């Protein structure tokens, strides 16, 4: 279940806690920047909603700190007159600044959009990690093929078949077989 942290000093007209709860998020609350910082560092949140003014700050510094935690979406509720100015600076850091006068439906829509974007980002990060792993494996295979060509005078095709056979014989993946062959070739020196 996704977890949200709501940072607010006093109850506001927009009941963020109940809206987020209705959206299926597990909600925790903090009443100060200091308490929120500790909770962000100690717990795993997906979303932080900041409703200034807070007893120990305006929320801008907290929003900056929270946005530095790469897995967090950060929403800062601000006075309508400050939204544009705050968005310019904080938007570059990944903080979504909205007016305090936002209605419940629009707030819910905003959070839904953030969740969809976060889901897409997570899928892209997973795909990127898989591609990087695959690239690393291909690099290992190419290096070992070159070693086999240099030391055992194999063609690229023969080296590839040699690695495949080693993988099948040892019942391991190609990258692991390439590592094993590299170690064996280095031991022969």
Paired residues of 157 in beta bridges: none
- What mean pLDDT do residues 8-20 have? 78
Q: What is the pLDDT of residue 116?
A: 92
pLDDT value, residue 58: 75
**CATH number for 152:** 1.10.10.10
Q: Are 116 and 107 in contact (CB under 8 A)?
A: no
Residue 13 domain flag: yes
CATH number at residue 16: 3.40.50.2300
Q: Which domain holds residue 145?
A: 130-188
- Please give the pLDDT value at position 15: 84
Do residues 49 and 138 both lie within one domain?
no
Report percent pLDDT > 70 for the chain: 96
Same-domain status, 90 and 135: no
Q: What is the pLDDT of residue 11?
A: 62
Structural domains counted in the chain: 2
Q: Which residue has the higher pLDDT, 47 or 69?
A: 47
């Amino acid at each position: 279940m996704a977890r949200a942290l709501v940072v607010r000093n006093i109850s506001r007209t927009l009941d963020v806690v109940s809206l987020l709860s209705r959206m299926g998020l597990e909600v925790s609350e903090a009443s100060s920047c200091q308490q929120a910082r500790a909770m962000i560092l100690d717990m795993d949140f997906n979303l932080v909603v900041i409703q200034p003014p807070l007893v120990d700050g305006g929320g801008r510094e907290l929003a900056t700190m929270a946005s530095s935690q790469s897995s967090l979406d950060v929403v800062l509720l601000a006075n309508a007159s400050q939204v544009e100015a705050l968005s310019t600076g904080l938007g570059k850091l990944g903080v979504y600044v909205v007016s305090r006068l936002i209605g419940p439906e629009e707030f819910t829509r905003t959070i839904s959009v953030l969740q969809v974007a976060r889901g897409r980002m997570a899928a892209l990060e997973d795909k990127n990690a898989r591609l990087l792993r695959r690239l690393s494996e291909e690099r290992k295979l190419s290096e070992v093929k070159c070693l086999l060509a240099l030391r055992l005078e194999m063609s690229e095709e023969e080296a590839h078949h040699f690695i495949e056979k080693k993988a099948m014989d040892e019942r391991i993946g190609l990258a692991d077989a390439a590592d094993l062959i590299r170690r064996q070739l280095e031991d022969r020196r």
